[in-house]
Each structure stands twice: as structure tokens, then as C-alpha cells.
Structure 1
């Protein structure tokens, strides 16, 4: 049986090996060292912010970001319902509660009109809104041109969850730079990886200094161990930072590879009625995941049928994020819904998108999809 083709596996090679080996031989193997410092500088330069703090995960970055802007018990935080659970969990870590907002059906990103309405209602009822946390979905930035003025008028800070969007842009401005503070993830399936890891970026150096302090168990600068705050063991190791530095060197090439794959999908699905790529019109996307939405009334088949066809051929797919308001852990949470996220969960499918896929693997995926489309909808064979 042929080997499994995964959705978005790590893309690492000789350059990463050389960077990690050099870091190992240097003796800097703990969460401190020259590669860690350099990685922070490199990411800040890439994003265009004054500084950055490398941490152990994207979730840790979100947690520290929320604490940094003052979110705490009793606060409300506006979160997209279409997101990975970490976005909501980080809110709960602070003692605040998430209020979920539906998405734009075209992009999967936060519905800005709903956010504006919600902020007015929450303020009218005396709730303190600690932050709005937009998520740059599948590598496409939220509509910050519309969102930032809404949040500024309500005097609510924006914490940008750019976990999926390093290398993306909106209006020529890099993902991660739009809010008071932004958070990236370097998990193994992301656009680039440090195995596990994350990064905070901001122009507010005081906020970043506080995050760095809390990420190192809030240890005070004394000869002995002294702690005035409850801190966290959140710093990234120097070894993993070395891996990240090598990945950052290759980032543009990895994004180009994913964009090329998205173009292949666009051409393949173009003749198929009722099928469209989510956010395909966003030229600034890093194309982290290519996702299709299937209108079964027009296509004559469902996304789940394509997923089953590919699974039988050892090709991994995944539904888009199950909305937070449908998650058992957040049952009963306040939500502002239009049905858009539910529809995307039902009709959407993420396809293999990794930059590590070779030509043979890409051909195998495209061939399997073409076989399915030909059988179901009479699409011509490529």
C-alpha cells in the first residue's frame, strides 16, 4: 500500500540539520542562547514590529498576549467561533470568558459587522470587553481595514491570533502586526516549524518585557530565586530556535510551493459546479491550508464523499475547524451566530497543502481528485 500523504507535514532538510547541530555543539541547549535571541530579532524584522518573544507554543503566546493587554477574571473576550480551540482556551486561562462570533462565509474570518454589533451591546449592558481576538484563518488575514476602526472606537485592544499566517499580509502589511500584540504558532503542521513553539510580536516593548518575565517563571533579577508574580515555564529552547532560524530562511520558498499547489487545485476544481476554494481571492495569503467548500445541491456530491475517496487512497484531508459553539467544552457559551461557520464545517474540506510534498505526491493527490470528479460530475480528465 502506498505511503500516507499528510495534510501539512513539516518541511525540514539539510539546512535545518546544520543549524540545529551547530546550536547543539555550541552548548546552548536550554531556553536561553544566541539562536533564541537571533530568532526573535529575525521574526520581528520579518513582521515589521519593534520586538518579539519566543515561547513554547502558540497557545502560550496567546495566553501571555491576553495577560499583557490586561484581560482577567470577569472580562469578556470576543473570539471567532471558527477557530482551533487554543484561541478560546487561552481566554479561559486568564479567568475571562469567550463570546463567540460567526464568520464571513467567503473567507472563514471573523464577521466584522457582527463584532461591531456585539461590542455595542456588551458595553450597553455594562460588560468589560478585555480584547477582540481575530484569527487569520488558513493563512488569510482578517479584514483589519474594517476591524481595527471598530475596535478603536470601542476602546478594545486587538490581540491578533496569526498562528496560521506567518508570511501573509493584508493591504501590504504583514500578518501579526495589526493588533496591540500578535501571536504565531510554529507547531509541526504550520507554515514553518520549530517542532513546537510560538512567538509574540509587538511594537510595545514594555508589554513584551512583561511577557518575557512571565514566560520565565516570573523570576526576579536577584542572585537567589525570588518571585513576586505567578509565572509560567513558557520559553522556547535555543535548539528549537535554531530550527526556526533555518525555517525562516526558507519561508518564502515554502510559501511559493504552497501557492503553486493551491493554483493546481484551483485549475482542477474550476470546471466542477458548486465547488470553490475558501479565500482563494486573497493574494496576500501564505496558503497554509487550501480548503474547498462544496455546495452539494449544485455539485451532486458532498465534501465527506471526497474525503472518503481520498482516505481510501491514503491521502489525508480534514474538515475545517469545528465551531467553538459546537464544542462540548464550550456548550452554553454566549455566541452571535449566522450559521456561516456551521455551513463551512459541514461543507468544507482541507486538502493536502504541505510544501514538503514532492511532484509524485502532488500528482497522486491531483489524480485521485480528478478520478473522483470525473466519476461524480463528469469533469474532463486532466
Structure 2
């Protein structure tokens, strides 16, 4: 191969170019404009919420969402240990402290019975729990059928981190719509992108209005610049919103391409003992990332061995998220663990999953995996 196959590169083309050019020619170059409002309305319609607020990152969306549900300094906020660091960082931005809970070994999503136990423990010890932040991992929704009653019984609001899951669903209901407020990400590697960006989605219109106010430096409605409190420079620009509108038009197409690629991985790896696709049974996933779990005691090789082989062919892979309780920045955080996240970090591998991958690139990736399996098994595996 002569070009690197990336994990999840942006998928943009003529439609995105046309939307950006139209926005440029409209003269709406400054942060706000008609594309920004339209993008918010279109995302809200897609997710099925009453409103949305576009911001410059998924992290900003999480920060504002936590403030919106009333998280205060000193609160405990329950966060899955298997997540990207932004989830935990946003908790610290509020002055609260993250308390980590382990994952379900099959899906990578939060272990709901363990979460329920943790909520009971925290309440019994007199802790104020400001929020629970479930994360829809790798494009698959958490089991909200079980999680929402547990949080409701504990009297704790849910802030849904759906940064990875736009377009996914749980029992027909869209990712991002389960919590009091949800947070989406449009980072460059996500299912759809605005280069950088995020969105709050919610039925709670006063919460969204408050978030919009804080995201625009908390400026008061005066002819001069008036500020009664500290705000943030978090709004998404009109130009990036135009890019997002074009991406949203193509979202189902891009999800379909990722699903087709996952199916090809599943077919190739099905005969291999000790290798499973994480969350493969979720037919409502957006298939953002295809993650395999490799059990060396059954297959005779490690995930790192396959990663090294693919790297030699200029094919990018990545371990799953290093658990937050293993991160030096959160070494002092409280956790309730089973070892599931540690095992998935040790045995998991994320394969190239992007909808922008060409057929030639896909064939090269599948061929390199098959070559590795054949060398290990002595026979071809496809």
C-alpha cells in the first residue's frame, strides 16, 4: 500500500463544498447566522428533541449540560471508566468530582446493575450525586430501559454522552434523547463532522436557553457589552454549521457504509476462535467504530500482534479507551470496578471503520487481516 488507511477519516465531498460555498457567498461569516439556526433545528428533528444548541466541541456540550442540570462544586458525578477523557474532564470543569463505574464486558457500555449499586452506596454515605453521565460507546446506546428507572429512583438527572452515537437508537428511540439533556460531537473522526463542534439536545427549553446564554460569553441583552456572570466562548460558527447540514443529509448513507464494513469484518473473523466483535448484536448501532476483542488463551495471539501487522501495512488501528481509573490525571478518583474495562483495554482493538474508505482500501485491510490469520493458523481464514 502507498497510502495510510486511517481509522475514521472525515467523509466529505461535493455536497459539503456546495453548502460551504453558499454560506460564504451569503455573507454570514461571523459566528452566528441562518445555517447555525437551521443546523440546530435539523439535529433536533433528527434526534427527536424540542430543541438544540450548537457549540464548538462535544466537550463544551458536556460542560454546559452538566451546568444545566445543576451540578455544583463538590458533587459526585457518576461516569463510566471506559470513555474518552472529555467526559471526565467536563465534570471537573464544574468543580464536581467524577466517580467511575465499570463497563459491561459484552458491549463496553456502562454496567447498569453496578451503576445502581454505586448510586445506593453514594446516597447511603450522604453524598450529593449531581448527575449520571452514561456514554454510548462505539456508536451503540446504553441499556436505557434499565438505566433510566435506576437514575429516576435515585433522584439523579441523566446527562447522555452521545458523542459517538448520532444516528444510533435504543428500541427505536434516538441516541441523545434519553437524558434530561444529551451531548453530541462532530469532531473530525465522528460519524459526521463539522471539523470541530458539538451540540446539546433536549426537551428542556429553559435549559437550552441557559446553555446558549453561557455559550455566548453570558452577554446580557444591552446595546453595550454587559455581563453579570462568567460565560464561555463556546458557540459553533455559521460556516461550520453549513458543513454540518450537508453531513446530516448524508448521515444515513455514511452509517450504511460503516455497517457494510462491519459485516465484512464479521464474516472474515467469524471462524476465528477467541475473536469477537464488541456489541455486534446491536442492530441499532451507528457502527461508528468496529471493535474486536481478542482472547489470547483461545486464539494464540494478542490484539497487539494484529495491530503491529496492520501497522506494517500502513493501516491504522487503536486500542479501546484506556480506562479513566488508570489515567494519572484521575488516580485519586473513587471507582467501583469489576475488571471488565481493564480486560477490554488489554484485549480490544479498533479497526478502520470510516465511511470514506475506498473499496481498494477496504480490500487491502481485509487482505492484511486474512494474511495475518493465515500465518497464525497455517491456512487461509476467508
TM-score range normalised by the length of the shorter chain: over 0.9
Alpha-carbon offset, residue 377 of structure 1:
2.5
Q: Equivalent residues in 2 for 1:118-137 (5 A)?
A: 118-137=118-137
* Alpha-carbon distance, 1:378 to partner: 3.9
Aligned residue in 1 for 2:11: 11
Query: Is 1:299–1:377's contact at 8 Å kept on the other side of the alignment?
Result: no
TM-score (norm 1): 0.99
Q: Is the 1:180–1:202 Cα contact (8 Å) retained in structure 2?
A: yes
Equivalence for 1:327: 327
Identify unmatched segments of 5+ residues in structure 1: none
**Partner residue of 2:73?**
73
SS of corresponding position for 1:201: strand
Alpha-carbon separation, structure 2, partners of 1:359 and 1:55: 34
Report the alpha carbon displacement of residue 2 of structure 1 after superposing the two structures with TM: 1.2
Is 1:364 the counterpart of 2:369? The answer is: no
Instruction: Tell me, yes or no, if the aligned pair for 1:133 and 1:160 is still in contact at 8 Å.
Output: yes
Alignment partner of 1:254: what SS? helix
Q: Distance in 2 between matches of 1:31 and 1:279?
A: 39
Aligned length: 382
Matched, 1:177 2:204: no
Work out whether residues 371 and 380 of structure 2, in 8 Å CA contact, stay in contact via their aligned partners in 1: no
1:278-297 CA-partner distances (Å, limit 9, x unpaired): 00000000000000000100
1:381 shift after superposition: 4.5
Does the 8 Å contact 2:183/2:199 carry over to 1?
yes
Residue 379 (structure 1) shift: 5.0
2:337 maps to what in 1?
A: 337
Secondary structure in 2 aligned to 1:329? Answer: helix
Q: Deviations over 1:49-82 (max 9, x none)?
A: 0000000000000000000000010100000000
CA apart distance, 1:277: 0.1
Structure-2 separation of matches of 1:319 and 1:23:
38
In the other structure, the counterpart of 2:354 is 354
Q: Give the superposition deviation at 1:380.
A: 2.8
Residues 370 and 230 from structure 1, CA distance in 2 versus in 1: closer, same or farther, beyond 3 angstroms?
Answer: same
1:294-326: CA deviation from partner (whole Å, max 9, x where unpaired) = 010000000000000000000000000000000
**Alpha-carbon separation, structure 2, partners of 1:280 and 1:379:** 26
- Hey, what's the Cα distance between the residues in 1 that align with 2:370 and 2:152? 47
Q: Specify the SS of the correspondent of 1:310.
A: helix
Tell me the equivalent position of 1:139.
139
Q: Which secondary structure state, in structure 2, belongs to the residue aligned with residue 44 of structure 1?
A: helix
Q: How many Å separate the matches in 1 of 2:245 and 2:368?
A: 36
- CA RMSD between the two structures: 0.7
Give the 4+ runs in structure 1 shifted more than 6 A.
Answer: none
CA distances 1:10-35 after superposition (whole Å, capped 9, x unpaired): 00000000000110111111220000
Alpha-carbon distance in structure 1 between the residues aligned to 2:378 and 2:129:
52
Gap change, CA 1:373 and 1:152, over 3 Å in 2: same
Q: Does residue 50 of the first structure (1) align with residue 62 of the second (2)?
A: no
CA distance in structure 1 between the partners assigned to 2:351 and 2:2 by the alignment: 18
Distance (whole Å) between structure 1 residues aligned to residue 101 and residue 339 of structure 2: 10
The offset of 1:4, in angstroms, is 0.3
| Contact 1:167 1:252 (8 Å CA) reproduced | yes
Which residue in 2 is equivalent to 1:104?
104
Matches within 5 A, 1:76-95: 76-95=76-95
**Residue 379 and residue 55 in structure 1: after superposition, are their counterparts in 2 closer, same or farther (change >3 A)?**
farther
Long gaps (5+) in structure 2: none
Q: Aligned with 1:199: secondary structure?
A: strand
Correspondence for 1:244: 244
- Give distance in 1, aligned partners of 2:54 and 2:30: 13
TM-score by length of 2: 0.99
Give the match's secondary structure for 2:250: helix
Q: Map residues 206-355 of structure 1 onto 2, 5 A cutoff.
A: 206-355=206-355
